[in-house]
Structure 1
Amino acid sequence: MSEERKFQNGWLPYEPSKPARLLSPIVLAYVGDAIYEVSVRQYLVSLPNLRPNHLHRSATGLVSAKAQSAILGFLEPSLTEEEKDVARQGRNAKSGSIPKNADVLEYRHATAFECLIGYLYYTGQQERIQEIVNSGIQFMLKQP
């Protein structure tokens, strides 16, 4: 990378190359996946007495396509119209990859969830990400 990029102030280290609304849903999902996984790991590390193997198993259960799909289904009624639109674009995006551990519908809904998280990240809506992640984790912990 020839152009030197510098960290910005705040929690968004680099500005995206274009406004969040103009980024591909797959790009938003790419970033959203990372943001969500870090959020889940931070949540798990905040719990007492967890061993690394248990941390990994717990994180895997919360970040799987199946879990993300279920979380989106649970949260959808509470999303704003803008958030629903972003999720819809993520769901309809063609990723070009075939899911390994999920069916196609779960995979598309997981991509929609990740796209939403990426969009919220790039629009600086940290509190909203925290609300969504916390609600999603609590929902998944109540599942049998």
Structure 2
Amino acid sequence: MEGWGIPDEPISARDAELKNPLALAFIGDTVWDLLVRRRLLATSARVNALHRQAVGLVNAGAQAKALCRLEPLLTGTESDIVRRGVNAHSRHVTPRNQDPVDYRRATGLEAMLGWLYLSGQWARVSQLFDAAYPPGTDIDPPARRTD
């Protein structure tokens, strides 16, 4: 992956699309985490503050909100991958502190990011992240729910 220090070994978009959506989400979760952390690092905040901000942005609620901002920009194939991720059923229980709908939507976002990453569409990954959190804007995490 140019500029990320990761070897360029993409698979075809079709082969990536055939993967289980939960496997795509497994990769997409890490892609999202890396993008968030890379952006936060530019703030030069203390490591503890960076970690707290990252935790606030790498969770189902924040990812579901990001997906809402991105949905109008998605291609048909990207929307299909999101839908497959949202509808995928995992064997583990939704974390207690997360809304089940947000959790499923976050899985959809992660599946799409995993598909884009695996198929070598790294510029599109960056483009969508920048659309969710435009460069130069504050990406503080949303307020935590207290219920």
- Match for residue 94 of structure 2? 99
Contact 2:8 2:120 in 1 (8 A): no
Say whether residues 1:137 and 2:133 are aligned partners.
yes
Contact 2:10 2:119 in 1 (8 A): no
- Match for residue 21 of structure 1? 17
TM-score normalised per structure 2 = 0.81
Contact 1:12 1:124 in 2 (8 A): no
Q: Could you report, residue by residue, the CA deviation over 1:41-88 in whole angstroms, capped at 9, with x for unpaired residues?
A: 11111223x101100111011111000011111110110111000100
Q: Could you report, residue by residue, the CA deviation over 1:93-144 in whole angstroms, capped at 9, with x for unpaired residues?
A: 0012212121110100000000010000011100110011122234883867
Q: Equivalents in 1 of 2:67, 2:16: separation in Å?
A: 20
1:1-144 map, 5 Å? 11-12=6-7, 19-48=15-44, 50-100=45-95, 101-138=97-134, 141=139
Letter in 2 for 1:121: Y
Unaligned runs of 5+ in 2: none
Q: Equivalents in 2 of 1:89, 1:113: separation in Å?
A: 10
Unaligned runs of 5+ in 1: 1-9
Contact 2:61 2:103 in 1 (8 A): yes
- Match for residue 5 of structure 1? none
Contact 1:32 1:115 in 2 (8 A): yes
> Secondary structure of the residue that 1:31 maps to in structure 2?
helix
TM-score normalised per structure 1 = 0.83
> Secondary structure of the residue that 2:133 maps to in structure 1?
helix
Runs of 4+ in 1 over 6 A off after TM superposition: none
| Alpha-carbon RMSD | 2.2
Q: Equivalents in 2 of 1:141, 1:40: separation in Å?
A: 9
Contact 2:84 2:108 in 1 (8 A): yes
> Secondary structure of the residue that 1:19 maps to in structure 2?
helix
> Secondary structure of the residue that 2:57 maps to in structure 1?
helix
Contact 1:31 1:118 in 2 (8 A): yes
Structure 1 residues 62 and 128: CA distance shift in structure 2, 3 A = same
What is the number of equivalent residue pairs in this alignment? 133
The Cα shift of 1:12 comes to: 4.6
Q: Equivalents in 2 of 1:97, 1:33: separation in Å?
A: 16
